[in-house]
Each structure stands twice: as structure tokens, then as C-alpha cells.
């Protein structure tokens, strides 16, 4: 079977690329490609709309010309929904024989809606084994009813097959087909023009129950990890392909059940003298519990950590079910800074239970974090994504004001809260740019006392930010228009009656289950 795997772009573009200077490799697609190629009967190519700078017209033309049997589209990002649907509809008008398959977080919880929009098949949850079975089944001309974990059919007749269990042994899945993309398209410009970054995954699952997150409903509520042998094999492949940085996509890299394994991994990386530098995502409390592991990770190559702080209000964190205190986040920043690790703190504004006082408290707390050593504070707008407890609650109580999925970009308010949505947008924008300036001033003041690679990386990052100042200014000038657009959207929602059915296509049973897991 001839397969094309596609990552669609969306209206506001990649936040990583716009703000942080790098575009993550579509590792999920490369993992699926590895499974498809394992059989020896499939050919696979990858289209990354943002990395390839392709428009919808260009993608449609390429698909019609190449005439694949299957096009698999990743829909982790809800904001890419509209782009994906346009590609499907316009391609099918010319080449109706192509089978379109959707997968990812958004697709898992909007499966029926995507079928009604023209997709032929939607993969639910993990797609590694599923996509290979789909290709094999379609290649034989058999019916899809025996393929577990999918929704398929047409708008008039939609079928959901039996549930597929989680993959227990992650070493059993194929090595991702990293050679299908060109490293030069995935530059880490923040730290220099010759730096290339690959994404790798070492584990899946999360036992936490944050009400704004869909990771647990998709990947399960317990960690499943690759062996250190397998992780090292993938790291060595990345090194051979010319990548100098690795972005580990695990949601909690310092996971409690695998701390012993992490120590052994870092020691082996040091023993092998691997030159890769890496970026991780983790929780602040995981850092505080294991400062010795953080120190070892830094020696092994960890140069940047993104931590989910979310809020400076204990009450807000409690309602988010984050299981975290602001003081813990501050300690985590201090530990990371002490070990020469660049620290990005992610925070959200505009949760439905927040007041203006709570939001300002979070912004003030961001200032404390910078004083403690944080190098970047990234503020986003609280967004109830499909599959989360927040989405279930907001669709049930009528606080969602739109199902224009392009607006689910973590920069645009999409639900009624205690705070005017335009005020949320204004404070979010203020927070981002205020802390860029504050971090810059702090670096310049402390530059003489800073030593090691962190000082060099910050010097490069500062130069990058200054070089992109025109982009930031242009973005700021667009803010009034975005605020007016948001005000019109919310005004229209007040005039119109709320929809009688929950937003999207998730059944009440499905959403209730998600909500139960999250609780």
C-alpha cells in the first residue's frame, strides 16, 4: 500500500516555532511510519505542512498527483481540524478513491464528527498497531470490522469497533522512521543556525488527573516505558542522522516509577560520551523530589526543562486538580537553575473559576519565578480541549461559545468565564512580552556571574529574540483586532441559543468515562 502521512498546519501556526524558534519533528507520524514499513509491503512518505511551507492547495495537488492508497493525518492539535477537513474534502472531490485516516488526541474524541466531515477512518488512542492493521486489511480488500480501536464508515452509517488495549511493551513497536524527514527543516534557531532538533518518546501515560489535559484518557493513567537499551538505540540513530538536540516528548520525564531506570540511563549516556543535548518536559514536584537525578541529567546533556507551573494561586491549582503548590514550582526553578538548566515555566490564564485577582496573582508569581532563575515564562489561555474533563463540563453547562476548532489555539478564549475574554487576551499578551523583557534584563545583569554552557545558550537565545523583535511587535499590533474578534464572538454567543447537543461528536457515555478518569 502507498501511504502518505500528513501533519496539517493551522491558522496561528506552531507556538514552538513562533515563540521558541524551533519546530518539533512529527515523531508520532514517524513512529507510525516505522510500523507501516515493518511489513515490507507498504511505502511511506511524510508531508509536514509547516516544515515544508505548503499551502492547502499545494497539499491537495500533491496528493492528487501521487495518488496514495491511504492518507493518514495527525490531529493532536485541535486547531488543525479545519485545515485537515479542507484537505480531505478538496482531495476527495478530485480523487474519491483515496482513503483518509485521522488519529491523535483530537481525532480520538471527535471521531464521529470527523467521519461526518469526510474522513473514512478514525483511529482511537494509540495508533501504532492499528494503522498497520488498517493498511493490511485495505490491501486485502477485507472489511474493517475486525480492526479494533477505530471508527469508520460514512456520514449516514458510522461504526465503532471493539476497544483496543494499550501496548504494554513499548519496545515491541518499531523504531521510528527518522530518516523520512530532513534534519535541516527542524532547526533549533534559538541556540544557533547549525543546531537541529529531533523529537523522541521514551514513555507513555500519566497517573495525574489535571482537568485541562487529555493525556490520561488517551495514553492511560499509568506509565509505560521503553527500556534504556531501546532509548539509547534511538538516541544513537538521532546522532548518526546529524541531530544535535533531542526534545523528549514524554509529559513527565522524571516519572516516579522509573527514577531508578533514569539514573541508569543518564549514567550510560555519560559513559558513552554522547554529545546530544536535550530538552525535557516534567512536573515541578518531580524535580523537587529528585534533585540528585536532575544533577545527573544535567551532566548527561539536559540543557532545558519545561515545567507545568500553571498558576500562582493555590486555589486555582486545586480546582485544576494539579496536585501542586506554587512554592514547589519555585523550588523546582531554583534546582534547575543551580544545575545550569534553562527553565521554561508554562502558565495558564482564564480558567472558568478564576477571577482577575487570581490571574494577576499568577502574573506576579511569574515575576518571582524569574527572580528565582526561570528563563522564560510562557502564558497561554486556558482551553478546554476535547477529551478533557474541562471540555465535558463546559459543553454540558453551556459555557463553550464556539466549535470553530481553529480558535482552540491556546491563545484565544473559547469559553465563558468570570473574566471578560478580551481582558484575558490582553493579560496573556502582556504577560508573555513583559517576562521576555524581564528575563532579558535579568540575564544582562547577571551575565558576568554566569558560567558554563547555560550562559552561552542564553547569549544565543537573547540574540535570537532581538532578531525576531519585528515579529513580536507585529504580533502585538494585531492584538486589538484579535480582541475585537473575540468580543464579537462572545456577543454573538449571547444572542444565539446554545446548541441542544454537546459540542462535537463524543457521545455522552464516552465523555462521562473521560470525566470519570480525570476525576
Model confidence over 476-488: pLDDT tens digits? 888 999 999 999 9
CB burial readout 23-50, b (16+ within 10 A) else e: bbbbbbbbbbbbbbbeeeebebebbbbb
CA 178 to chain centroid? 19
The model's confidence at residue 19, banded by pLDDT at 50, 70 and 90, is low
Percent of the chain with pLDDT over 90: 75
The model's confidence at residue 518, banded by pLDDT at 50, 70 and 90, is very low
Regarding predicted confidence, which is higher, 290 or 450? Answer: 290
Q: Is the pLDDT of residue 388 over 70?
A: yes
d(CA 68, CA 66): 6
Q: Which value, in Å, is the radius of gyration of the alpha carbons in the chain? A: 22
d(CA 131, CA 122): 10
Burial, 434: exposed, middle or buried (Cβ in 10 Å; 0-12, 13-18, 19+)?
middle
Strand partners, 306: 281, 344
pLDDT of residue 17: 64
Percent of the chain with pLDDT over 70: 93
Taking residues 128-157, what's their average pLDDT?
A: 95
Domain with CATH 3.80.30.20 in the chain: 187-479
The model's confidence at residue 504, banded by pLDDT at 50, 70 and 90, is very low
The model's confidence at residue 462, banded by pLDDT at 50, 70 and 90, is confident
Q: Is the pLDDT of residue 264 over 60?
A: yes
Q: Which DSSP helix (H) or strand (E) runs through 5?
A: strand 2-7
The model's confidence at residue 192, banded by pLDDT at 50, 70 and 90, is confident
Domain with CATH 3.40.50.280 in the chain: 2-160
The model's confidence at residue 499, banded by pLDDT at 50, 70 and 90, is very low
pLDDT of residue 13: 64
Global pTM reads 0.91
**8 Å CB contact between 383 and 421:** no
Q: Is the pLDDT of residue 510 over 50?
A: no
d(CA 454, CA 27): 27
The model's confidence at residue 448, banded by pLDDT at 50, 70 and 90, is low
CATH 3.40.50.280 given to domain 2-160: yes
pLDDT of residue 447: 67
- What mean pLDDT is reported for the chain? 90
pLDDT of residue 237: 97
CB burial readout 392-412, b (16+ within 10 A) else e: bbbbeeebbbbbebbbbbbbb
3-class state of residue 227 by DSSP: coil
3-class state of residue 406 by DSSP: helix
**8 Å CB contact between 101 and 134:** yes
User: First-to-last CA distance in the chain?
Assistant: 42
The model's confidence at residue 287, banded by pLDDT at 50, 70 and 90, is very high
Q: Is the pLDDT of residue 408 over 70?
A: yes
**8 Å CB contact between 379 and 348:** yes
The model's confidence at residue 40, banded by pLDDT at 50, 70 and 90, is very high
The model's confidence at residue 18, banded by pLDDT at 50, 70 and 90, is low
What count of other Cβ atoms lies within 10 Å of the Cβ of residue 430?
15
Of 68-77, 101-110, 212-221, the range with the lowest mean pLDDT is 212-221
CATH number for 187-479 (one of 3.30.465.10, 3.40.50.450, 3.30.470.30, 3.80.30.20): it is 3.80.30.20
Q: Which DSSP helix (H) or strand (E) runs through 421?
A: helix 421-446
Taking residues 204-228, what's their average pLDDT?
A: 89
- Could you tell me which residues come within 8 angstroms of residue 199 by beta carbon, excluding any fewer than 6 positions away? 24, 25, 26, 27, 246, 247, 248, 249
Taking residues 441-464, what's their average pLDDT?
A: 80
- Closest residue by Cα to residue 178 from 234, 246, 105: 234
For the stretch 328-377, pLDDT in tens is 999 999 999 999 999 999 999 999 999 999 999 999 999 999 999 999 99
DSSP per-residue codes, 310-356: E-S-HHHHHHTT----HHHHHHHHHHHHHTT-EEEEEEEE--TT--H
The C-alpha cell at 3 is 501511504
Q: Is the pLDDT of residue 172 over 90?
A: yes
Amino acid at each position: 500500500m502507498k501511504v502518505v502521512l500528513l501533519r496539517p498546519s493551522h491558522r496561528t501556526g506552531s507556538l514552538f516555532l513562533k515563540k521558541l524558534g524551533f519546530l518539533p519533528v512529527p515523531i508520532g507520524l514517524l513512529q507510525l511510519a516505522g510500523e507501516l514499513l515493518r511489513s515490507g509491503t507498504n511505502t511511506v512518505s511524510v508531508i509536514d505542512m509547516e516544515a515544508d511551507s505548503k499551502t492547502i492547495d499545494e497539499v491537495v495537488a500533491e496528493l492528487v498527483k501521487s495518488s496514495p492508497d491511504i492518507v493518514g493525518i495527525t490531529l493532536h492539535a485541535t486547531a488543525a481540524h479545519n485545515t485537515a477537513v479542507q484537505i480531505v474534502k478538496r482531495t476527495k472531490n478530485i480523487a474519491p478513491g483515496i482513503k483518509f485516516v485521522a488519529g491523535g488526541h483530537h481525532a480520538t474524541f471527535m471521531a464521529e464528527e470527523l467521519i461526518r466531515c469526510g474522513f473514512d477512518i478514525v483511529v482511537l488512542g494509540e495508533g501504532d498497531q492499528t494503522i498497520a492493521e488498517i493498511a493490511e486489511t485495505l490491501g486485502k480488500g477485507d472489511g474493517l470490522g475486525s480492526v479494533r480501536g477505530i471508527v469508520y464508515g460514512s456520514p449516514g452509517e458510522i461504526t465503532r469497533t471493539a476497544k483496543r488495549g494499550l501496548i504494554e511493551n513499548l519496545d515491541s513497536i518499531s523504531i521510528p522512521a527518522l530518516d523520512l524527514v530532513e534534519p535541516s527543516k527542524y532547526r533549533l534557531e534559538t541556540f544557533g543556525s547549525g543546531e537541529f532538533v529531533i523529537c523522541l518518546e521514551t514513555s507513555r501515560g500519566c497517573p495525574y488527573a489535571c482537568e485541562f489535559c487529555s493525556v490520561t484518557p488517551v495514553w492511560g493513567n499509568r506509565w509505560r516505558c521503553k527500556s534504556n537499551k531501546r532509548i539509547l538505540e534511538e538516541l544513537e540513530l538521532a546522532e548518526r542522522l546529524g541531530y544535535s538536540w533531542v526534545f523528549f516528548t514524554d509529559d513527565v520525564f522524571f516519572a516516579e516509577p522509573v527514577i531508578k531506570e533514569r539514573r541508569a540511563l543518564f549514567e550510560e549516556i555519560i559513559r558513552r560520551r554522547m554529545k546530544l543535548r536535550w530538552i525535557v518536559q516534567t512536573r515541578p514536584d518531580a524535580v523537587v523530589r529528585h534533585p540528585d537525578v536532575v544533577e545527573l541529567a544535567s551532566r548527561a546533556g539536559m540543557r532545558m526543562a519545561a515545567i507545568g507551573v500553571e498558576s500562582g494561586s493555590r486555589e486555582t491549582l486545586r480546582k485544576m486538580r494539579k496536585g501542586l503548590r506554587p512554592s514547589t514550582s519555585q523550588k523546582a526553578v531554583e534546582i534547575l537553575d543551580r544545575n545550569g538548566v534553562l527553565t521554561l515555566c508554562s502558565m495558564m490564564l482564564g480558567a472558568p473559576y478564576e477571577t482577575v485577582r487570581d490571574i494577576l496573582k499568577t502574573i506576579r508569581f511569574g515575576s518571582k519565578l524569574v527572580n528565582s532563575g526561570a528563563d522564560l515564562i510562557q502564558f497561554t489561555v486556558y482551553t478546554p480541549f476535547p477529551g478533557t474533563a474541562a471540555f465535558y463540563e463546559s459543553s454540558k453547562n453551556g459555557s463553550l461559545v464556539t466549535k470553530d476548532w481553529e480558535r482552540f489555539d491556546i491563545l484565544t478564549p473559547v469559553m465563558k468565564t468570570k473574566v471578560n475574554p478580551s481582558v484575558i487576551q490582553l493579560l496573556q499578551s502582556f504577560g508573555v512580552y513583559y517576562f521576555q523583557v524581564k528575563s532579558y534584563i535579568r540575564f544582562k545583569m547577571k551575565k558576568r556571574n554566569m558560567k558554563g554552557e547555560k550562559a552561552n545558550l542564553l547569549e544565543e537565545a537573547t540574540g535570537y529574540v532581538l532578531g525576531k523583535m519585528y515579529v513580536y511587535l507585529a504580533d502585538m499590533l494585531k492584538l486589538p483586532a484579535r480582541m475585537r474578534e473575540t468580543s464579537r464572538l462572545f456577543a454573538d454567543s449571547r444572542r444565539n441559543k446554545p446548541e441542544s447537543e454537546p459540542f462535537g461528536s463524543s457521545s455522552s457515555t464516552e465523555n462521562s468515562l473521560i470525566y470519570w478518569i480525570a476525576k
